[in-house]
Amino acid sequence: MEIPLFESSNGLCPYLEGKEWLSYLTHADYLDIYLYEAMINRGFRRSGRIFYQNQCRGCESCVPIRVLAEQFVPSKSQRKIWKKNQDLKVTLQPAKFDAEAFAIYDLFTQDRFNCSATAEDFQQFLVKTAVDTQMAKYYDHTGKMVAVGWLDILHQSISSVYFAFDPKESKRSLGTFSVLWEIELCKQYQKDFLHLGFWVKECQSMAYKSRFYPHQLLVEGVWAALQWSPKAGTPDLESE
């Protein structure tokens, strides 16, 4: 199946200063999950009903990363974060406009990007979808929503689309907890991989993604595992 792609200039790079963000993109009101999974394996991501592959000139910093769910072993700090958040209840429902979720997203946007979200942008980005997208809502013991995430449920994997939390709950390390919860969901659904989107080595806000082991990076079209060499002290890529 041929998919028409269009080159798009998206302005400044959201991850690295002074870089222009270019991508190939296509639009679909519906996309088969097998096809989208194949596209993810070629470096595509989704924003609403737009599917895009970054093609920035002279830059290959955006590297897709996925966690091997069944083989995942949490670190000591990750186990502590998991234990700390056991009071939370997480529910799943198909993605739709939800006032609670939008309120959390708006708080998160104001805190991280110093701007308010609009209902229209929220719907275009996270509500409108072309695949099976589920919304994970995180509640504390009082019934207050503290975080929300969006997940694409695919054939062999789950793709983590976006996650937002109430900034007042930052001490919980909810970003890390959400990935741990999503890995457990992969196991429950018998999915092999959790896709975490792009890992950008030079971007501090992306650093947490590489702390979930084992993981693989998409390098020149091939998923490869980072193998550490104790003697050399540097990582080598081993193709899968």
Residue ranges in the chain assigned as alpha helix (H): 33-40, 76-84, 99-113, 119-122, 174-188
Structural domains for the chain:
6-62 (no CATH), 65-211 (3.40.630.30)
What mean pLDDT is reported for the chain? 92
Q: How many CA atoms lie within 13 A of 53 on its CB side?
A: 16
Determine contact, residues 140/146, Cβ cutoff 8 Å: yes
Determine contact, residues 136/90, Cβ cutoff 8 Å: yes
Distance CA 174, CA 19 (A): 29
Mean per-residue pLDDT, 153-182:
98
59-96 tens-digit pLDDT: 999 999 999 999 999 999 999 999 999 999 999 999 99
Mean per-residue pLDDT, 159-173:
98
Q: How confident is the model at residue 148 (pLDDT cuts 50, 70, 90)?
A: very high
Backbone angles phi, psi at 218, to 5 degrees: -90, 105
Determine contact, residues 114/34, Cβ cutoff 8 Å: no
Residues in the chain: 240
Q: Using the predicted structure, report yes or no on whether residue 232 has a pLDDT greater than 90.
A: no
Query: From the centroid of its chain, how far is CA 103?
Result: 20
Mean per-residue pLDDT, 227-231:
40
Concatenated DSSP letters of 97-138: --HHHHHHHHHHHHHHHSS---HHHHIIIII--SS-EEEEEE
184-214 tens-digit pLDDT: 999 999 999 999 999 998 888 888 899 999 9
Q: Using the predicted structure, report yes or no on whether residue 4 has a pLDDT greater than 90.
A: no
Q: Using the predicted structure, report yes or no on whether residue 229 has a pLDDT greater than 90.
A: no
**What is the crossing angle of helices 76-84 and 174-188, to 10°?**
90
Counting residues of the chain whose pLDDT is more than 70, the rounded percentage is 93
Indicate the SS3 state at residue 73. coil
Distance CA 15, CA 6 (A): 22
Distance CA 53, CA 71 (A): 28
91-138 tens-digit pLDDT: 999 999 999 999 999 999 999 999 999 999 999 999 999 999 999 999
Distance CA 239, CA 201 (A): 19
pLDDT at 231 (0 to 100) = 37
Mean per-residue pLDDT, 3-28:
91
Q: Using the predicted structure, report yes or no on whether residue 233 has a pLDDT greater than 80.
A: no
Q: How confident is the model at residue 227 (pLDDT cuts 50, 70, 90)?
A: low
pLDDT at 20 (0 to 100) = 92
Query: From the centroid of its chain, how far is CA 217?
Result: 14
* Residue that is written with structure tokens 């991280």 in the block: 112
